Amino acid sequence: MQTGISTLLAVGTFLFGLLHLFVSFLRRPRTVLPLPPGPKGFPIIGNLFNEISGYRGVPGSSSHHLWAKYLEMGKKYNSDIVHINVLGDHTIVLNSSKATNDLLEKRSGIYSDRPPMHMMMGLVGVHRRTFHQDFQPPALATYRPFIRQSTSDFLKKIAPTEYDPLRTPDIKHADLESYVRNHAGSIILRIVYGMTTQEEMNDYVQIAYLAAESLIATMNHGSFFVDYLPWLKYVPAWFPGASFKRKANAWAPAVSDLLNKPWERLKPLIKSGTAIPCFVTRNLERFDLVSSLDVDSDKTRTNTDPNMEEVVKNCAAVAYFGGSDTTVSMLMSSILALSHHPEVLTKAHEEIDRVVGSSRLPDLTDRKDLPYVEAFIKEVERMYPVTPLAIAHRVTISDVYDGYFIPKGTAIVANVWFVCFYHRAILHSEELYQDPLKFDPDRFLEDGKESERSPNPELYVFGFGRRICPGRYLALESAWNLIACLLATCDVIQPLKEDPKAMIDPVLDFAEGIIVHPKPYNCRIVPRSATALNLMKTGYPSEN
């Protein structure tokens, strides 16, 4: 009986889908102005079976990165703005800083919406809302003790028992990534949920790691067929071609844990008055929700907006995930870059020794006096952006740009990565950066001071317009603190027995997804001296 009902549901869904395609075809935009150039598709289905659609289920699709495919399109059609149509769903890719700035910044009033992400929101179960004021610069002073404590913990974990440079072992990628995840996770868990002990943080760092696979895979618009045809979410998981539904069912528990477990841990502490002040408690108080928080239910009894508790809960989960995984990506790329560029390491050592000395660790108060360290971080941001394809925007009304028609509801994707030595996007454009494939922090310096010749990559790597990442200041402060302390105390070099032919390319070898990570690598992190080793073991002075 159940199988028969499922079959009828599947057949009905399929017939509804055909009707949806036909109606979409009839409603396709008609205008005297052309759409931006792009691959020619078939009637009704458009570019569905082209590899550049973004849909990962296309038979025979290559493993070539999606941002590279988009750039190849730009080169083929000789345009910085290219168009893709899948089943009436329009996507426009921006491959230049000019087009990105013109649309997502100057016209942010109509380009700040998000396209529906049905795989992520409807099937996996998370949506993004946030409160900018909790992560703006004035709030950072409150968080700096947590950053220092987490940096101290990281240094202690990588410190060898004794100073013996010739016998310091390699650090395996899995161990290094674990230390970095604990560093980033402990900071955000303290800020968002008020967690203070490493024992309770460990489980929640692991939860974020398990949820990362699904969120990274589903946040690019069009990553799954259901993003184009949302009615497919009603198809049974056993239906042919419904592998996305099976993946969603497998991923949903981890995302549910990300959303609910730290929240449920905190609720009784809030009600008892023993919760440590944090992002959640401040926002519950801001909206007068504490007294009405129902510890035994997910429902809220309050005279205020009945959805506000859910907003705070979801916002906390997004900050929890986003604040950990993006920082992990940036730090792992930074360590990889240092291991491949000893000349950069030497310059950074010289600057820190001159400004800070060897008797203490660098602090955030030293940041303005260490321009080369700052330039190194900017070059990492430029060379290895955490999100090579910015999360898609959507235009809310039809628009015209550079003689091209942009239909209402079109998804807009800014491509900040590069494809090859012949055609590059924003952060690897020869128009913006001289010799863009060379890792060179000096491009951001001029006579030891900040240079205006090369645009700050932070203009592009944290999103655009009204959708710019609100956590960027916290991410940069926590990353700067760890990198500065690592540079002050250690040499970061390649493994002892690494085969040069087998080493990963620090430019090209990155995993696919909305947040990218370098592929696994090993390295050696060796204390610079016995004094440096002692600093690693003691960390920052206690602030209690």
From residue 123, alpha-carbon distances to 126, 179, 251, 317, 467 in Å are 9, 32, 9, 17, 23
Please give the model's pTM, rounded to 2 decimal places: 0.74
pLDDT > 80? residue 305: no
Tell me what the pLDDT averaged over the chain comes to: 77
**Within 13 A of 503's CA, how many CA atoms are on the CB side?**
18
Give one word for 409, left, alpha or beta, with left for phi > 0 and alpha for psi -120 to 50: left
As a whole number of angstroms, the distance between CA 267 and CA 272 comes to 9
Instruction: Assess whether pLDDT exceeds 90 at residue 2.
Output: no
Q: How far apart are CA 441 and CA 432, in angstroms?
A: 15
Average pLDDT of span 241-263? 75
Mean pLDDT of 66-79: 78
CA geometry: angle 10, 409, 85, nearest 5 deg: 65
The residue among 427 and 366 whose pLDDT is bigger is 366
Residue 59 banded pLDDT, cuts 50, 70, 90:
very low
pLDDT digit string (tens) for 413-422? 888 764 333 3
Give me the pLDDT at residue 236, please: 64
Give the Cα separation of 318 and 263 in Å (integer). Answer: 12
The pLDDT of residue 364 is above 90: yes
pLDDT band at 337 (very low <50, low <70, confident <90, very high): very high
Q: Evaluate if residue 18 carries a pLDDT over 90.
A: no
pLDDT at 376: 96
What is the pLDDT at residue 43? 63
**Residue 512: predicted pLDDT:** 59
| pLDDT band of 316, cuts 50, 70, 90 | confident
Predicted local confidence at residue 182, as pLDDT: 92
The helix (run of H) or strand (run of E) holding residue 70 is helix 66-76
Q: What is the DSSP annotation of 485-543?
A: HHHHHEEEE--TT--GGGSPPTTT-B--SSS--BPP--BEEEESSHHHHHHHHH-SPP-
The arrangement of secondary structure in 132-221+233-383+453-538, i.e. its CATH architecture, is: Orthogonal Bundle (1.10)
Q: Nearest-CA neighbor of 64 among 367, 512, 409, 447?
A: 512
CA distance linking residue 517 with residue 491, whole number of Å: 22
Q: In b/e form, how buried is each residue of 247-273, taking b as 16+ CB within 10 angstroms?
A: bbeebbebbbbbbeebbebbbebbeee
Least confident among 198-212, 273-287, 422-436: 422-436
Please say if the pLDDT value at position 369 is more than 80: yes
The Cβ of residue 204 has, within 10 Å, a number of other Cβ atoms equal to: 23
For residue 192, what are the CA distances in angstroms to 149, 196, 255, 383?
16, 11, 17, 30
Please report the pLDDT score of residue 498 as a whole number: 59
Maximal C-alpha separation, the chain: 78
Q: How confident is the model at residue 298 (pLDDT cuts 50, 70, 90)?
A: very low
d(CA 530, CA 533): 5
Burial class (CB in 10 A: 0-12, 13-18, 19+), 83: buried
Q: Which stretch, 69-73, 306-310, 361-365, 467-471, has highest mean pLDDT? A: 361-365
Q: Return the closest-CA partner of residue 57 out of 45, 66, 49.
A: 49
How crowded is residue 104: how many other Cβ atoms within 10 Å of its Cβ? Answer: 23
Q: 490 labelled as ligand-binding? A: no
If pLDDT is split at 50, 70 and 90, which confidence band does 448 have?
A: low
Say if residues 51 and 61 touch (Cβ distance below 8 Å): yes
**What secondary structure, in 3-state letters, does 10-43 show?**
HHHHHHHHHHHHHHHHHCCCCCCCCCCCCCCCEC
pLDDT at 203 over 80: yes
One-letter-per-residue 3-state SS of 157-190: HHCCCCCCHHHCCCECHHHHHHHHHHHHHHHHHH
pLDDT surpassing 60 at residue 195: yes
Q: Token digits for 311?
A: 């907003």
- Top pLDDT among 428 and 146 is at 146
CA distance 184 to 174: 15
What type of residue sits at position 127? Answer: H
Q: What number of other Cβ atoms are within 10 A of residue 28's Cβ?
A: 13
pLDDT-based confidence at residue 57 (cuts at 50, 70, 90)? very low
Contact between 60 and 49 (Cβ < 8 Å): no
Looking at residue 128, what is its pLDDT?
43
The pLDDT of residue 420 = 36
The most confident of 89-93, 112-116, 317-321, 506-510, by mean pLDDT:
89-93
